[in-house]
């Protein structure tokens, strides 16, 4: 089980295929107090969460004291992950942060600057490569053990960049993955996603048309996502919009969070792929409903999360 925590509330890039980059989610100066983050970490331990990612809709390296949050996760005995563009001219605390980070995902949509900036608007390949080189040196020296994955976001206009980025990853000793892009930076952006969510809720129908009997959306079982205020949201795929807010993570049991997510009306309009429910997921749903109705429950043991974050 993964916990994604946006410890800040901003990203400097303007990627049109991201609700943050398109500014459908506006940047603010909010930052989760480290004391509150510590309480969230302790609660997550009791609930069987084994990995915390300090990202979702943010650039984590914009957090000036990021190493404190990483340290809090590590000292609690959990593993910590980051996802970043690394498109920053200077990251002063790179080593002190990464010494506690198990997995670092670095997303790029091109190796040549003119291709890269089509989607990563405001970013510089030179900055990314500079930071990747620094990380490679730290890994080779044994000063950090972070598993680094260079993820190529593929669109129809940038397919020729794949081999270049794969060669870069191989040269630096990093893993390489290809991710088909969502949306298209040249044709449509994520601007207006919030309005689309509101429209979907207005057109709510009681039937679960996207979900055959016995099927579930895996998103509600694989992770919980929080914003800088510690509010839990429906999932990590849509955006932290107010009408997708579940409630304060510190005030809710895992059963209540699952109940509220499963019964959220937006899911009826979401096209995310469903799959047959696994036995432990069926039990978790049954217990979530029982808990909400005030019945005694025996908490379902969560399955360990995969080491690599997606």
Local confidence band at 308 (pLDDT 50, 70, 90 cut-offs): very low
Alpha-carbon distance 199 to 279, whole Å? 34
Mean pLDDT to the nearest integer, 137-156:
98
| Better-scored residue on pLDDT, 310 or 157 | 157
Nearest to 159 by CA among 185, 178, 182: 178
Using one digit for the tens of pLDDT, what is the confidence trace for 251-284?
A: 999 999 999 999 999 987 788 899 999 999 999 9
Crossing angle for the helix pair 254-262 and 279-292, nearest 10 degrees?
Answer: 100
Residue 308 counted as domain residue: no
Token readout for 172 is: 């630096």
User: Do the domain assignments include residue 214?
Assistant: no
Contact 158, 110 (CB under 8 A): yes
Instruction: Please give the pLDDT value at position 294.
Output: 93
State the residue range of the domain holding 51: 2-193+222-253
Please report whether residue 229 resides in a domain.
yes
pLDDT band at 206 (very low <50, low <70, confident <90, very high): confident
pLDDT in tens, 215-248: 999 999 999 999 999 999 999 988 999 999 999 9
Residues in Cβ contact with 282 at an 8 Å cutoff, skipping those fewer than 6 apart: none
Residue 28 falls inside a structural domain: yes
pLDDT digits (tens, 9 = 90+) for 8-43: 999 999 999 999 999 999 999 999 999 999 999 999
280 domain residue, yes or no: no
Does residue 160 form part of some domain?
yes
At which residue do the structure tokens 């303007």 appear? 14
Reply yes or no on whether the pLDDT at 310 is more than 70. no
Token couple for 224:
């919980």
Whether the CB-CB separation of 168 and 111 falls below 8 Å is answered with: yes
- Does residue 242 sit within a domain? yes
* pLDDT digits 0-9 by tens, 173-202: 999 999 999 889 988 777 778 888 888 888
How does the average pLDDT of the chain come out, rounded?
93
Residue 126 has pLDDT above 90, yes or no: yes
Q: How far apart are CA 84 and CA 123, in angstroms?
A: 12
- Which residues contact residue 234 at a Cβ distance below 8 angstroms, ignoring those fewer than 6 apart? 244, 245, 246, 261, 264, 266, 267
Nearest Cα neighbor of 241 from 205, 190, 309 is 190
- The closest of 21, 14, 20 to 228, measured between CA atoms, is 20
Has residue 47 been placed in a domain?
A: yes
Which CATH number fits the domain that encloses residue 127? 3.20.20.70
**Spatial CA neighbour of 86 closest among 165, 23, 29, 189:** 165
Please tell me the total count of domains within the chain.
1
Closest CA to 90 of 55, 134, 146: 134
19 and 227 Cβ atoms separated by less than 8 Å: no
pLDDT at 115 over 80: yes
**Residue 83 token pair:** 């996802």
CA dist., res. 283 & res. 223, Å (int): 17
């Amino acid at each position: 089980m993964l916990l994604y925590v946006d410890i800040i509330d901003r990203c400097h890039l303007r990627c049109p295929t991201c609700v943050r980059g398109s500014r459908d989610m506006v940047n603010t100066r909010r930052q989760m107090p480290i004391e509150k983050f510590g309480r969230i970490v302790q609660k997550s331990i009791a609930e069987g969460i084994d990995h915390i990612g300090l990202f979702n809709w943010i650039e984590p390296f914009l957090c000036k004291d990021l190493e404190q949050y990483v340290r809090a996760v590590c000292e609690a005995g959990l593993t910590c992950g980051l996802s970043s563009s690394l498109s920053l001219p200077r990251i002063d605390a790179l080593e002190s942060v990464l010494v506690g980070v198990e997995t670092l995902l670095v997303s790029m949509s091109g190796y040549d600057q003119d291709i890269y900036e089509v989607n990563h608007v405001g970013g510089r390949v030179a900055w990314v490569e500079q930071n990747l080189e620094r990380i490679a040196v730290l890994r080779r020296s044994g000063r950090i053990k972070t598993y680094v994955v260079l993820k190529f976001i593929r669109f129809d206009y940038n397919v020729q960049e794949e081999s270049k980025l794969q060669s870069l990853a191989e040269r630096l000793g990093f893993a390489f993955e290809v991710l088909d892009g969502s949306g298209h930076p040249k044709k449509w952006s994520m601007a207006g996603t919030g309005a689309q969510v509101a429209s979907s809720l207005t057109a709510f129908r009681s039937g679960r048309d996207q979900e055959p009997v016995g099927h579930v959306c895996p998103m509600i079982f694989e992770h919980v996502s929080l914003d800088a205020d510690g509010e839990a949201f429906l999932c990590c795929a849509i955006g932290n919009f107010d009408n997708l807010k579940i409630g304060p993570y510190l005030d809710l049991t895992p059963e209540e969070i699952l109940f509220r997510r499963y019964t959220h009306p937006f899911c009826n309009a979401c096209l995310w792929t469903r799959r047959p429910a696994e036995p432990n997921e069926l039990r978790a749903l049954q217990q979530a409903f029982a808990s909400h109705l005030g019945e005694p429950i025996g908490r379902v043991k969560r399955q360990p999360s995969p080491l690599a974050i997606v």
